[in-house]
């Protein structure tokens, strides 16, 4: 009770600071945190041009090691994987790009789709000299890897699907797809309360994001609302609607054809794509290994990076 009163008092005091100053403080802390993570990981941001687009990426580890390509989820960016990937850098050559439309990569005003992302990823990897690789994708990143595999089968050696999108459940329920079908896009945020609820669905534990950073991120999501709505409509649109059943069958066929090693990794308390979907993936890929992480939400690499590292490392050691 006393802590709640102190927290509320701090919040009230903070809200008396003019908006632009609050935003500046939050942005400063946000970039400072990223700077520290880059330093600790021994990483730096790089970029190349593809089809007139800037693709920003992080490269870690020795190029003589097996290559692991990590793809972020919708509205996320490469930096969210810095702490996790730094744990793997002694064993892998790691590549983490910002996908077009997100992070520091270009945001061209064009139509987006999983096929578009797969082709961009293929061209990107070709330019930086990567031929065959292991893939790890969180949320939308997993869906991109699944689509990539259907187009470029010979290149993927294994996949880790972390709370992955790419398979829309048939049933209506408490999941993102059902909400989207009913007109609610989780990523379109107008009010701070909506943002707080959004954050609470990403993590099992109560958010420890500092108040100035939360304020900065809220405004960032609010500003990008229309952009996220456009991308979501184009990426997800055909999978939800009149031809939903047909596209589900096509997707199930693509997934069931996978022959290389697969790890299905899920947060037991994922508030975006619930663990039920992990079992749908497992049913479609019987040879896959599946692990449900307790006390974890939609972003295992952020919430429990050391536990996820141990699971992923053990998976690769068994290949």
Tens of pLDDT, residue by residue over 51-110, are 999 999 999 999 999 999 999 999 999 999 999 999 999 999 999 999 999 999 999 999
pLDDT confidence of residue 3: 44
pLDDT confidence of residue 240: 79
- Domain annotation covers residue 14: no
- Domain annotation covers residue 10: no
% of the chain residues with pLDDT over 90: 71
- Domain annotation covers residue 2: no
The answer to whether 149 touches 250, Cβ cutoff 8 Å, is no
Strand 156-162 to 93-97 pairing: unpaired
200, containing H or E segment: helix 192-202
pLDDT confidence of residue 211: 84
Across the chain, the runs of DSSP E, i.e. the strands, are 45-50, 53-60, 67-71, 93-97, 133-138, 156-162, 262-267, 289-293
Is a pLDDT exceeding 90 seen at residue 142?
yes
Count: domains in the chain: 1
Tens of pLDDT, residue by residue over 181-215, are 888 889 999 999 999 999 999 999 988 888 888 88
The answer to whether 76 touches 102, Cβ cutoff 8 Å, is yes
- Domain annotation covers residue 122: yes
Helix (H), strand (E) counts: the chain: 13, 8
Does this model's pTM top 0.85?
yes
The answer to whether 53 touches 106, Cβ cutoff 8 Å, is yes
Residue 181's CATH number: 3.40.50.1820
Tens of pLDDT, residue by residue over 230-248, are 999 999 887 777 677 887 8
- Residues counted in the chain: 319
Tens of pLDDT, residue by residue over 288-299, are 999 999 999 999
- Domain annotation covers residue 5: no
- Domain annotation covers residue 203: yes
CB burial readout 276-313, b (16+ within 10 A) else e: ebbebbbebbeebbbbebeebbbbbbbbbbeebbebbe
Q: What does the alpha-carbon distance between residue 199 and residue 141 come to, in Å, rounded to a whole number?
A: 19
Backbone phi, psi, residue 96, to 5°: -130, 100
- Domain annotation covers residue 15: no
Q: State the residue for tokens 């999941």.
A: 175
- Domain annotation covers residue 110: yes
**Which range marks the domain in which residue 259 is found?**
22-317
């Amino acid at each position: 009770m006393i802590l709640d009163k102190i927290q509320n008092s701090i919040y009230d005091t903070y809200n008396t600071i003019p908006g632009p100053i609050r935003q500046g403080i939050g942005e400063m802390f946000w970039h400072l945190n990223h700077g520290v993570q880059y330093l600790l990981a021994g990483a730096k941001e790089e970029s190349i041009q593809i089809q007139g687009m800037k693709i920003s990426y992080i490269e870690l580890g020795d190029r003589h090691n097996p290559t692991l390509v990590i793809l972020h989820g919708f509205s996320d960016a490469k930096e969210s994987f810095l702490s996790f990937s730094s744990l793997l850098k002694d064993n892998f050559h790691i590549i983490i790009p910002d996908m077009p439309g997100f992070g520091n990569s270009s945001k061209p005003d064009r139509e987006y789709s999983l096929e578009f992302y797969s082709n961009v990823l293929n061209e990107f990897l070709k330019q930086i000299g990567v031929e065959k690789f292991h893939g790890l994708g969180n949320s939308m990143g997993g869906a991109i890897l699944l689509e990539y595999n259907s187009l470029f089968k010979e290149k993927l050696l294994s996949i880790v699907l972390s709370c992955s999108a790419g398979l829309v459940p048939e049933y209506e329920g408490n999941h993102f797809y059902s909400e989207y079908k009913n007109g609610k896009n989780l990523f379109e945020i107008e009010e701070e309360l909506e943002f707080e609820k959004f954050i609470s669905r990403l993590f099992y534990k109560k958010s420890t994001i500092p108040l100035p950073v939360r304020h900065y991120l809220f405004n960032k999501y609010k500003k990008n609302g229309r952009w996220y709505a456009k991308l979501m409509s184009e990426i997800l649109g055909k999978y939800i609607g009149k031809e939903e059943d047909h596209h589900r069958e096509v997707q199930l066929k693509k997934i069931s054809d996978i022959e290389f090693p697969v790890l299905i990794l899920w947060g037991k308390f994922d508030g975006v794509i619930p663990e039920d979907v992990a079992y749908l993936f497992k049913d479609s890929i019987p040879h896959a290994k599946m692990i449900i992480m307790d006390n974890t939400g939609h972003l295992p690499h952020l919430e429990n990076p050391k536990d996820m590292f141990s699971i992923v490392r053990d998976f690769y050691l068994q290949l």
